[in-house]
Amino acid sequence: AQSVAQPEDQVNVAEGNPLTVKCTYSVSGNPYLFWYVQYPNRGLQFLLKYITGDNLVKGSYGFEAEFNKSQTSFHLKKPSALVSDSALYFCAVRDMGGSARQLTFGSGTQLTVLP
């Protein structure tokens, strides 16, 4: 079975400060990992993914994520937060070793960037 945990329901950060949104995962094989962002009353927008290779993945809008296999984590980061980054962020996993093709999502983290 595959699962994702986002330990923080809410993250607040001041504009211009670095931000981190945490994600840990559990899979039986190796993971494919994804980050999506959701704005109010909208669908999910793809930010970035880790499939293989470099542990640091760069994505859209200045976001990046670091894959850490030993800690089974895939934290989302941005060096300097913008007020417009305020949204709901979801981490998702797919198990490379299994037959599952669906994404399993975490419960989401509401990011608020304060001006």
Partner 1 sequence: DAGVTQSPTHLIKTRGQQVTLRCSPKSGHDTVSWYQQALGQGPQFIFQYYEEEERQRGNFPDRFSGHQFPNYSSELNVNALLLGDSALYLCASSQGTSGTDTQYFGPGTRLTVL
Structure tokens given for 40? 């109010």
82 by Cβ neighbours in 10 Å (0-12 / 13-18 / 19+) ranks as middle
Q: Which of 12, 45, 55, 68 binds partner 1 (CB under 8 A)?
A: 45
Smallest distance from the beta carbon of 100 to partner 1, in angstroms? 7
Contact between 78 and partner 1 per CB under 8 A: no
d(C-alpha 16, C-alpha 38), whole Å: 21
Q: Which of 15, 64, 75, 103 binds partner 1 (CB under 8 A)?
A: 103
Total chain residues near partner 1 (CB under 8 A): 26
Stretch that binds partner 1, among 13-21, 60-68, 70-78, 94-102 (CB under 8 A): 94-102
